[in-house]
Chains A and B, each alone.
Chain A
Amino acid sequence: MIAIIGLLVGVALGLFLKPDVPIGMEPYLPIAVVAALDAVFGALRAFLDGLFDDKVFVVSFVSNVFIAALIVFLGDKLGVGAQLSTGVIVVLGIRIFANVAAIRRHVFHA
């Protein structure tokens, strides 16, 4: 419940405050969001498995975001930023699909 309220509060804050993203951070924001989504779906799956642990979630969330941003940053430095960010998105997308499939099995038993 608190988690859902937190998500709604975040959306509301983003809508009302319209925060400005520093120019240097702009390429990393979409990657970070997708990585965070991956962490959230992983946590949801673990929760339904009865294995949810808030410490694990926090660590996975932060490290997911950080590593995704780091990979893209390195890619930018190596001159393959666009390709690497595409690769990161693809990998995270596959993981999100896998987690959502597990969640679906729990909820719908199918």
Chain B
Amino acid sequence: MSEPDAAATEPTAEPTAPAPSAYQLIRRALLHPGRGQVSAAVLLVILGIAGVTQVRLAGSDDEYAGMRQADLVQALNGLQAASRRNEQDIRDLQNTRDSLKDNNDKTAAALKQARDELVTLGILAGTSTATGPGVRITVTVAEDGQLTLNNLLDGIEELRDAGAEAMEINDAVRVVAQTSFETADNGINVDGRVLTAPFVIDAIGDPDSLATALNFPGGFVDDLRPDHAHVGIKKRQKIEVTVLRRAVEPRYAESP
């Protein structure tokens, strides 16, 4: 590899002649090229081709093209490690997503349950309207007759016993657990409202059961006959209980 240097240091043909200056040498070589330049020119052609090709390769887009095997293996290892890391990330994120989805589902289920419960409790407490199959009981009383408090209470208890889920009287009072009944001068005081005949009781439940319960021997209808009252029971596929009752926050009772 040191030939040029050797050539540069070894003395040749005319060591004693006065050395021509660099410019003289260059001018002479340019104007009067010797045969020696031909072989140099051939090699320089090769160098030109190789150099341009290498520049083109180095500048090409494919960054892996000129790499040797060891480098490629290293690059591959790096990529594999990155791939593993990314896969781990994907798994973690998927787990997070699944747990969030799970939470969301649980929340949704709890919410649905709470809503269902709200509807149920609303119907029971009288804070929401209710519709469904049931019976409409109309009690008309003769001039000298009277629907007593006991009669009405019996009737309501029988309806409850038969599974009545929502009840209202005269489209004015909703009958719930806290409803109070009292005798009034010319009627019955229900929850502070004086109701007078004719009484109309709307009850939602299984119409057949409700009707049967009232017609039971010794029951509501039987009891009222001596008092010259007339009881009409109509089974309906759609009874609407629209009277609402204000929900009251319990002051003394609390659930353990």
Contact = CB atoms under 8 A, between A and B. Distances in A.
Q: Do A and B come from one complex?
A: yes
Interface of A: 1-15, 17-19, 21, 26-27, 29-30, 32-33, 35-43, 45-64, 67-68, 76, 79, 81-82, 95, 99, 102, 106-107
5 contacts: A10-B51, A42-B8, A48-B26, A56-B4, A63-B3
Given A36-B43, A51-B12, A57-B39, A30 B7 contact: no
Contacts of B42: 6
B40 A6 contact: yes
A82 to B, nearest CB: 6
Chain B, interface size: which category? 35 or more
Contacts, number: 183
Nearest to B23: A107
A41 to B, nearest CB: 8
B58 to A, nearest CB: 7
Given A29-B57, A36-B50, A51-B8, A57 B31 contact: no
Nearest to B24: A50
Nearest to A35: B1
Contacts of B47: 7, 10, 33, 36-37, 40
A71 B33 CA distance: 35
A52 B240 CA distance: 120
Contacts of B66: 26-27, 30
Contacts of B1: 35, 38, 60, 63-64, 67-68
Contacts of B70: 76, 79, 81-82
Main SS class of interface, A? helix
Given A14-B51, A14-B52, A7 B45 contact: yes
A42 B4 contact: yes
A51 B12 CA distance: 6
B68 interface: yes
B254 interface: no
A21 B56 CA distance: 11
Given A42-B3, A63-B3, A14 B39 contact: no
A57 B37 CA distance: 10
